[in-house]
Amino acid sequence: MNLEKFQESMYKLIVETSTNLPKDVRRAVKAAKENESAGTRAAMSLATITNNIQMADENVSPICQDTGLPTFKIKTPVGVNQIELKKAIQKAIALATKDGKLRPNSVDSLTGENSGDNLGAGVPVVKFEQWEKDDIDVRLILKGGGCENKNIQYSLPCELEGLGRAGRDLDGIRKCIMHSVYQAQGQGCSAGFIGVGIGGDRSSGYDLAKEQLFRSNDDVNPHEDLRKLEEYVMENANKLGIGTMGFGGETTLLGCKIGVMNRIPASFFVSVAYNCWAFRRLGVKVNAETGEINEWLYQDGDKISFAEETAREQAAATSESEPKVVTLKAPISEEQIRELKVGDVVRIDGRMFTGRDAIHKYLSENDAPVDLNGQIIYHCGPVMLKDDEGNWHVKAAGPTTSIREEPYQGDIMKKFGIRAVIGKGGMGPKTLAALKEHGGVYLNAIGGAAQYYADCIKSVDGVDIMQFGIPEAMWHLTVEGFTAVVTMDAHGNSLHEDVDKSSLEKLAQFKDRVF
C-alpha cells in the first residue's frame, strides 16, 4: 500500500464531502424546492439553501460551518494494515482542518480545550471491517451537532405525546418514527433525513441507525415491511407542517431509511439518527496497492446544478414586488425592536458579534470585553483562516442551534443591553419572556447556509476570548445584507411555539393503528 497516496485520497474525500453535496441529496432538495408554495418563508429558505449549495461547490468551501465529528466506515481486504490506514486518515483530517475545509471541532470533554486540528481521544471515528474483495471501500459522513442533538432513542412500550401508547410491534415503531420527526421541529435544520435502527442494545441500535444514513436516498429497502414503513413515513411526515427551518411548509422530511437487527427479549429499542438537509456523506473505492481512488460513490445520475435556477430567481425578484424588509444597524434602540413582529424579514448592515456556548457561560459570570448595549449577538462558530499578514478571513459562517443558550440568553440580554440575537431553531419560554420584558428580538437565519452568510461578512474587525478556540471565540464582524426572519418578537409571540402546537395537533391524526 502506498500510504502517501492513500492519505491524498482521504484528503480528497474529506474536501469533497465538506464542500460538495452528493447527487442523491441534491435531487431531494430540488424536489422539495419545486413542491413548495411560492412566496412563503419556506420557499425563501429553500432558495437560500440552493444558492448556498452552489456557492460551496464553486468556492470549494464548507457547505455548513459545523463540519461535525468525521465518521469513517471502512471495508478492507484481509491483510491490509488498518493501523497505518488510520494514521493516514488522521494526517488527512489535520491537513483539511489547516486548509479551512473542516472547522476545528475536537474538544476535550473535561477541560473544554480545542485541539485545533480535529484530532484527539476517539476523534475522528474510524470503524473497520474486513471483506473478501480486493479494493478498499471508504465512506465518510460529516454530521453536525445541531442534527446530532436531535437524535432520539425509544424503549418500547412507551407513551408518546400526541400518539398514545407505542407497543412492541411494527405499528409501535411507526409511531416512534413519526414522533422523532415531530420532536426535531426545525432545530436539526429541517428539511432533514433520518436513519432508523430497530433492535439491538442502546449503543448498537444507534450504530445501526447511523449506518442507514450511508444508504443512497434513492435505494429501495429489500425488506418488504420496512419498505412499506419507509414509504409511509415519507408520505405522512410531510403532513406535519413543520417545514424548512421549522417555518412551516410542505416538506419536513427528505429521506427515511430503516434497518433492523435482533434484540434480547427484555429490550426493544427504536433509535433514530437525524441528519440536516446539508447531508454530507460521500464514499470512494480505493486501490489497495496504489492507494488511489478508483471510483466515487453516491454520484450516480445527473448532478443537479442550481446556478441557472438561482440566476432566474434573482432576475424574477428584481421584476416583482419584493416583501417588506426592515434594515437594522447597531446600536439598535428598544423602540426599533418593538416595531418588529414575527414574520418580518430583517436585513442587517454593520456590526455584529458571534457568541456560542462558551461565550454565553463566560458572559454570565464576567464583564463583556466590548460594549454590547444595543448590539447583535450571532450564534455562530465560524470556520476562520489567517493569511500571511495576520488577517482573519471567514470561510463559512452559518448559524448554530440556539436552544443550547436558553439557560443564559435572557439574563445576558438584560445584563448587557443586547437587542437582537441570531441563530436557528428558536429558543424557549425563558428567552421569550426576556424579549418581551427587555425589548429584544430573536432572528432565525437559515441553518447550514454557511457560504451564503459568509458572503455577507465584509470584514473581520477583531476577536476576543480566543482561549475557547476559534468556533467559541467572540468575533467582531462587519456585515452587509445579512438576512434573517423574526421568529420571536418583543410582544410575546413565537413562530416556533405556533408551529410546535400546530404540528402536535396534526401528529394526533396518526394515532390509530396502521400496521
- pLDDT tens-place values along the chain, 515 residues long: 899 999 999 999 999 999 999 999 999 999 999 999 888 888 889 999 999 999 999 999 999 999 999 999 999 999 999 999 999 999 999 999 999 999 999 999 999 999 999 999 999 999 999 999 999 999 999 999 999 999 999 999 999 999 999 999 999 999 999 999 999 998 889 999 999 999 999 999 999 999 999 999 999 999 999 999 999 999 999 999 999 999 999 999 999 999 999 999 999 999 999 999 999 999 999 999 999 999 999 988 766 776 655 555 554 544 444 567 899 999 999 999 999 999 999 999 999 999 999 999 999 999 999 999 999 999 999 999 999 999 999 999 999 999 999 999 999 999 999 999 999 999 999 999 999 999 999 999 999 999 999 999 999 999 999 999 999 999 999 999 999 999 999 999 999 999 999 999 999 999 999 99
**Residue at 514 is within a domain:** no
**Residue at 267 is within a domain:** yes
Are 184 and 91 in the same domain? no
The confidence score (pLDDT) of residue 26 equals 94
The confidence score (pLDDT) of residue 489 equals 97
Residues 6+ apart with CB under 8 A from 316: none
Place of cell 471501500: 137
> What DSSP string describes 47-66?
HHHHHHHHHHHHHT--SSS-
Are 308 and 426 in the same domain? no
The confidence score (pLDDT) of residue 40 equals 86
The confidence score (pLDDT) of residue 323 equals 61
**Residue at 507 is within a domain:** no
> What DSSP string describes 356-378?
-HHHHHHHHHS--SS--TT-EEE
Are 309 and 334 in the same domain? no
Are 472 and 331 in the same domain? yes
**Residue at 509 is within a domain:** no
* SS3 (DSSP) at 85: helix
Are 137 and 153 in the same domain? no
* Count of domains forming the chain: 3
- Helices H / strands E in the chain, number of each: 15, 20
Dihedral of CA atoms 360, 361, 362, 363 in degrees, nearest 10, equals 50
Max Cα-Cα span within the chain? 70
Are 286 and 392 in the same domain? no
Q: Which three cell numbers stand for residue 144?
A: 453536525
Are 358 and 426 in the same domain? yes
**Residue at 29 is within a domain:** yes
The confidence score (pLDDT) of residue 37 equals 85
DSSP character for 494?
B
**Residue at 197 is within a domain:** yes
Are 328 and 306 in the same domain? no
Are 139 and 149 in the same domain? no
Q: Which residues of 193-209 are buried (b: 16+ CB within 10 A; e: fewer)?
A: bbbbbbbbeeebbbebb
Rounded Cα distance, 177 and 255, in Å: 12
Are 364 and 462 in the same domain? yes
**Contact between 456 and 477 (Cβ < 8 Å):** no
The confidence score (pLDDT) of residue 318 equals 42
Rounded Cα distance, 64 and 56, in Å: 9
φ and ψ of 111, to 5 deg: -95, -20
First to last CA, the chain: 51
Burial classification of residue 134, based on how many CB atoms lie within 10 Å of its CB (0-12 exposed, 13-18 middle, 19 or more buried): exposed
**Residue at 11 is within a domain:** yes
Q: Which one, of 446, 455, 445, 443, lies nearest residue 480 by Cα?
A: 455
Are 136 and 210 in the same domain? no
* Neighbouring-strand partners of residue 477: 352, 460
> Would you tell me how many other CB atoms lie within 10 Å of the CB of residue 159?
8
Are 103 and 235 in the same domain? no
Rounded Cα distance, 298 and 217, in Å: 9
Task: List the domain range (segments joined by +) for residue 39.
Answer: 1-143+282-318
CATH number at residue 447: 3.20.130.10
**Residue at 511 is within a domain:** no
Residues 6+ apart with CB under 8 A from 283: 13, 137, 138, 139, 140, 214, 296, 297, 298
